[in-house]
Amino acid sequence: DKLTRPWLPVSKPIFSVDIHPDGTKFATGGQGEDSGKVVIWNMAPVLREEDERNENIPKLLCQMDNHLACVNCVRWSNNGLYLASGGDDKLVMVWKRAAFIGPSAVFGSSSKLANVEQWRCVMILRNHTGDVMDVAWSPHDVWLASCSVDNTIVIWNARKFPEIVMTLKGHTGLVKGLTWDPVGKYIASQADDRSLKVWRTMDWQLETNITKPFSECGGTTHVLRLSWSPDGQYLVSAHAMNNSGPTAQIIERDGWKTNMDFVGHRKAVTVVKFNPKIFKKKQKNGSTPKPSCPYCCCAVGSKDRSLSVWLTSLKRPLVVIHDLFDKSIMDITWTLNGLGLLVCSMDGTVAFLDFSQDELGDPLNEEEKNAIHQNIYGKSLAITMESQLSSTIIENPEMLKYQQERQVNQNPNEAQGIGPESQTPKLTNVLNGESLEDIRKNLLNKQVETRTADGRRRITPLCIAQLDTGDFSPALFNSVPILPGSSASTQLTPQISSDSSTANSLGLRPSHDPTTTSPNKTAEENKDSATAAVNSIGMKSNLLLTSASKIEPMKALDSRFTERSKATPGVTSVPLTIGITPLDRVKDCSSVKEPKGKDETSSDSEDKIMVKSMAKRKGEMEGAEVVEKRKKGRPRKDAKMMPISQPFPQVTFLLSKDAWTSKSMDGVSTDGVTYLEVENEVSVVSGSRLSQLKWSREGREWDALLPSRIIIAAGSNDVVAVACEDRTLSVFTACGRRLIPSIILPAPMSALHCSRHFVMALTASATLSVWDVQKQTALVKNESLNPILSGTDATVSQSFLTQQGVAVVSLSNGKTYCFNSSLETWNLIADKQDSLVQCTDFRNCVSAQDALGSMGPLALTQGRNLSAGRLASRLSSTPHHLQQGMTLAFLEKQLSSALVLLSASEYRHWLLIYARFLVNEGYELRLRELCQDLLGPVHKSSSSSWEPTVLGLRKRDLLTEVLPVIGQNLRFQRLFTEYQDQLELLRLK
């Protein structure tokens, strides 16, 4: 192997090093002058000596001094787009490369060394209350984990920074190292509390706590960087002890056994890093190829300043390098090809090691590696699939569009930063084609200045570039102002620079000096350059005044630069209004609800309700609100009770036996309220008592006399149905014309509903009938409720009729059924106790528009269950694959229920959620079947039984809606293209 001695001109400690996934650069993190420091270096000069000597090839690409204190860890995301850094300032910063052309330096910095690449902090993650010791990106960059001396591990949602997914608590000491399982099932952490903990990613609970190998350990190391093998089978800890000797403990995934360790280092192991490649023995030419077991390779660094490299196929280390550094090794990183290794040390240097394939073996390619994963873990390796996908070429322009849309949606913060191509037009828009120089000339006159209510000046700044563009002239930095006749303004500058060359050692540093790299000001440094500046001025003004006398007050002035002045107390900050709106809404809701509740209870005492009536609720099928009110005596219009709008005014009410007049007011719409009024025993004619039904809407009214006492009446926009004590049912049109002669019921009426031209009757003998009074046909014929009631002591608690004439019955045991008249069966559509409902989690498949479209009979029956299930899913510790299966089953149930209920809008709603779920979770076969059903046969054939519509929705229209969803997952791009093309073909026909 080849060992390159470090050439990096750094003397401050380097705590972390990480090679970029594309291998062209690497990042280091450590201590800066008076801040933390992240530096991005060019890899080429490390790899090739001729590049190192070539002065045109930059070694240093970018320096970032934004961390206020020492940087303990730098890690590239797997896709190479981001760099995460964590430091003693308790912060995690996420960096992204800015599409900036040309170099720049920090404003006000003494360092004039230009950055070749621009890396910009795009996110600061604040949560830790102590130094951040390690950060780690999960496989395929879903999460970013950070651990801290505050004893916690924070899992950040890397797709929605700064959202926190979970804070893992359990360590009782400083957490100093993190590693993700390459399969994505676990994350492991090692802490000073003499434990190594493995946490599950499905529920973020502790999988195992390993303490034995660490019982003798003291908290002597700065870091404890543990590592997981690329095949996922082994986890190797940092500092462990065995027989009083320092080791790196090997933990087997299978049963978390701790039978092996790496022994040999004389001091504590600070860092372990597995080679990303899996190797197999190099086949020698001529020898017969023997099937050899693949193995992994692992580098171990220690406080004893030595490095050892191990192969899992060998009992002894492959190589040990002693005294590589002057101080402890802090971090190790492998090149992606697995043959190179960078090691950094507290002494401020980085060393590069280069291996040959003869030494390590033949690295397996990605497919072989996947095959191994597939063997061990089965299908769960969607993860590796995805990492491969990142390199997949997008073949279809439509696909590209949806991919981009997805990215925009996922990263709203970076919406402006898709790429330099897309920003250039934006930029010209902003600048209206004017050059920046032109703008600067007129900025003072052109900028918008207003007065606030309290009379203060308010300037609207001119936006000269969207975030992450920066394609404007870098000459802006430290530029001299452009003013008409501003030649005078430059006269000071040359003078000073010439002065500075003669200035003393404290004077202005020449701008090309690469050793001064600290932009952050300490008081001390301030003084240094302040004095320099003073000197310069002093020299210049030597002619004018005696400088010596003026230098003393200068020093007094220096403090003004760094101390917050009492003169700047700042404006009183305006209180945030965020958060008030939702609260208001809640308040509004409750204020509406409360009086209703009171009405309900008060009417309780007033109503004496007869035999087997059921609480009657009118389900307005189109998702509008329903308010029902029962009141004795005079009809009263109560503004609070009015729903906002209802397309079909409906009437319904329940009548008490005691011949009281009941009023029901149900629904308000543009055409007003409909009242249905019943008065029993209005008069007695020849021994029989007459009852009267009164109907009124907007001044129009009719009434009908019935020979028996009315027990239930119900109505819709089209019909009014009345059931009497003598077991007759009368049906009238909305104009009061009797539609059919009295229907004789087999038993007294228990519940009666009307919806459009459908009438539903539930009798006391537990039978159900539904009639279509327009067509004069029976949809459900005296069907017994026994199938759903038998075996339980449950009773009917609710019932209603949908707009499509489907009868829905809910029982007191939480189950809701509807009668499927085509199959003539009862179908279970909702179950409160259903464990599937409790454990499903499809929230990430629900888009904002979906939430609105979910109103309908299905939502009405399930409304509360669904939200309960969602909450439960967050708390429960269901394993992920189980939850996945449950969600799938649940969604399919919803879809079929919507179908049975003939609820088109809900069908569409759940179809889209279902499709999104299939896409997210990668169920290709089901997705294909779904698409096939929606597409139907492309070529007409008489034998096909395919229906072009479902619930009145055109299936191909649905497919058109589903396709963009599919387009969001690159994995399905073939599927997408296939159906997109076929749809296009059909459209052309």
For residues 787-816, which are near other proteins according to CB under 8 A? 795-798, 800, 810-812, 814, 816
Applying CB under 8 A, does 763 fall inside the site for other proteins?
no
Q: Are 376 and 232 in contact (CB under 8 A)?
A: yes
Provide the mask over 431-450, with x wherever binding to other proteins is found by CB under 8 A and - wherever it is not.
---------x--xx--x-x-
C-alpha separations of 335 from 43, 390, 791 in Å: 10, 19, 67
> Which uninterrupted H or E stretch holds 176?
strand 175-180
Contact with other proteins (CB under 8 A) among 293, 453, 548, 574:
574
Q: Left, alpha or beta for 478 (phi > 0: left; psi -120 to 50: alpha)? A: left
What is the smallest separation between the CB atom of 543 and other proteins, expressed in angstroms? 8
Q: Which residue, 435 or 489, is less far from other proteins as judged by CB?
A: 489
Contact with other proteins (CB under 8 A) among 166, 626, 747, 953:
626
Q: Which residue, 386 or 841, is less far from other proteins as judged by CB?
A: 841
Applying CB under 8 A, does 778 fall inside the site for other proteins?
no
Applying CB under 8 A, does 378 fall inside the site for other proteins?
no
Q: Are 267 and 221 in contact (CB under 8 A)?
A: no
- The amino acid present at 257, given as its one-letter code, is K
Main-chain phi, psi angles of 731, to 5 degrees? -125, 130
Applying CB under 8 A, does 84 fall inside the site for other proteins?
no
Q: How far apart are CA 424 and CA 227, in angstroms?
A: 43
Q: Where are the beta strands (DSSP E) in 243-318?
A: 245-252, 260-263, 269-280, 295-302, 307-311
Applying CB under 8 A, does 728 fall inside the site for other proteins?
no
What is the smallest separation between the CB atom of 306 and other proteins, expressed in angstroms? 37
Q: Is 107 exposed, middle or buried (0-12, 13-18, 19+ CB in 10 A)?
A: exposed
Q: Are 547 and 541 in contact (CB under 8 A)?
A: yes
Q: Where are the beta strands (DSSP E) in 907-961?
A: 949-950, 953-954
Applying CB under 8 A, does 592 fall inside the site for other proteins?
yes
Q: Which residue, 664 or 854, is less far from other proteins as judged by CB?
A: 854
Applying CB under 8 A, does 867 fall inside the site for other proteins?
yes
Applying CB under 8 A, does 609 fall inside the site for other proteins?
yes
CA 301 to chain centre: 37
Applying CB under 8 A, does 685 fall inside the site for other proteins?
no
Q: Which residue, 72 or 816, is less far from other proteins as judged by CB?
A: 816
Q: Pairing between strand 2-4 and 14-19?
A: unpaired
Contact with other proteins (CB under 8 A) among 456, 775, 939, 940:
456
Q: How far apart are CA 402 and CA 167, in angstroms?
A: 33
Applying CB under 8 A, which part among 259-267, 339-347, 558-566, 981-989 lies near other proteins? Answer: 558-566
Considering only residues 687-706, where is the footprint of other proteins by CB under 8 A?
A: none
Applying CB under 8 A, does 545 fall inside the site for other proteins?
yes
Provide the mask over 254-273, with x wherever binding to other proteins is found by CB under 8 A and - wherever it is not.
--------------------
Contact with other proteins (CB under 8 A) among 283, 562, 792, 944:
562
CA angle at residue 559 from 553 to 561, to 5 degrees? 115
Applying CB under 8 A, does 859 fall inside the site for other proteins?
yes
Applying CB under 8 A, does 493 fall inside the site for other proteins?
yes
| Tokens 């046969």, located at residue | 937
Applying CB under 8 A, which part among 60-68, 228-236, 904-912, 955-963 lies near other proteins? Answer: 60-68
CA-based end-to-end distance of the chain: 67
What is the smallest separation between the CB atom of 804 and other proteins, expressed in angstroms? 16
Contact with other proteins (CB under 8 A) among 101, 206, 462, 705:
462
Q: Which residue, 448 or 925, is less far from other proteins as judged by CB?
A: 448
Q: How far apart are CA 977 and CA 989, in angstroms?
A: 18
Q: How far apart are CA 933 and CA 579, in angstroms?
A: 45
Applying CB under 8 A, does 536 fall inside the site for other proteins?
yes
Contact with other proteins (CB under 8 A) among 252, 395, 438, 625:
625
Applying CB under 8 A, does 3 fall inside the site for other proteins?
no
Contact with other proteins (CB under 8 A) among 43, 84, 533, 975:
533
Compute and round to an integer the Cα radius of gyration of the chain: 38
CB atoms within 10 A of CB 608: 11
Q: Which residue, 349 or 664, is less far from other proteins as judged by CB?
A: 664
Q: Are 122 and 86 in contact (CB under 8 A)?
A: no
Q: Which residue, 263 or 480, is less far from other proteins as judged by CB?
A: 480
Number of residues this chain uses to bind other proteins (CB under 8 A): 138
Q: Which residues, other chains included, contact 654 with Cβ-Cβ below 8 Å and sequence gap of 6+?
A: 607, 609, 613, 615, 616, 630, 662, 664, 712
Q: Which residue, 277 or 612, is less far from other proteins as judged by CB?
A: 612
Contact with other proteins (CB under 8 A) among 48, 126, 587, 700:
126
Applying CB under 8 A, does 870 fall inside the site for other proteins?
yes
* Sheet containing strand 796-801, strands side by side: 796-801, 807-811, 815-820, 825-831
Residue of 281, 301, 300 whose CA lies nearest to 291: 281
Considering only residues 175-234, where is the footprint of other proteins by CB under 8 A?
A: none
Applying CB under 8 A, which part among 48-56, 303-311, 611-619, 726-734 lies near other proteins? Answer: 611-619
CA angle at residue 812 from 809 to 818, to 5 degrees? 20
* DSSP secondary structure letter of residue 854: T
Q: Find residue 22's DSSP bridge partners.
A: none
Q: Which residue, 126 or 327, is less far from other proteins as judged by CB?
A: 126
Applying CB under 8 A, does 569 fall inside the site for other proteins?
yes
Applying CB under 8 A, does 459 fall inside the site for other proteins?
yes
Applying CB under 8 A, does 578 fall inside the site for other proteins?
yes
Q: Which residue, 293 or 459, is less far from other proteins as judged by CB?
A: 459
Residue of 71, 67, 61 whose CA lies nearest to 12: 71
Q: Which residue, 393 or 543, is less far from other proteins as judged by CB?
A: 543
Q: Which residue, 319 or 626, is less far from other proteins as judged by CB?
A: 626
Q: Which residue, 290 or 451, is less far from other proteins as judged by CB?
A: 451
Q: Which residue, 609 or 682, is less far from other proteins as judged by CB?
A: 609
Provide the mask over 631-670, with x wherever binding to other proteins is found by CB under 8 A and - wherever it is not.
------------xx--------------------------
Considering only residues 512-531, where is the footprint of other proteins by CB under 8 A?
A: 519-521, 526, 529-530
Q: Left, alpha or beta for 307 (phi > 0: left; psi -120 to 50: alpha)? A: beta
Provide the mask over 274-293, with x wherever binding to other proteins is found by CB under 8 A and - wherever it is not.
--------------------
Q: How far apart are CA 251 and CA 215, in angstroms?
A: 15
Q: Are 690 and 679 in contact (CB under 8 A)?
A: no
Considering only residues 407-436, where is the footprint of other proteins by CB under 8 A?
A: 413, 416
What is the smallest separation between the CB atom of 476 and other proteins, expressed in angstroms? 6
CB atoms within 10 A of CB 524: 8
Q: Which residue, 646 or 717, is less far from other proteins as judged by CB?
A: 646
CA dihedral over 428, 429, 430, 435, signed as positive or negative: positive
Q: How far apart are CA 95 and CA 137, in angstroms?
A: 13
Peptide bond preceding 707 in cis form (omega within 30 of 0): no
What is the smallest separation between the CB atom of 987 and other proteins, expressed in angstroms? 35
CA angle at residue 790 from 786 to 796, to 5 degrees? 70
Q: Find residue 436's DSSP bridge partners.
A: none
What is the smallest separation between the CB atom of 84 and other proteins, expressed in angstroms? 14
Q: Which residues, other chains included, contact 913 with Cβ-Cβ below 8 Å and sequence gap of 6+?
A: 842, 845, 846, 850, 891, 894
Q: Which residue, 839 or 931, is less far from other proteins as judged by CB?
A: 839
Applying CB under 8 A, which part among 54-62, 225-233, 372-380, 854-862 lies near other proteins? Answer: 854-862
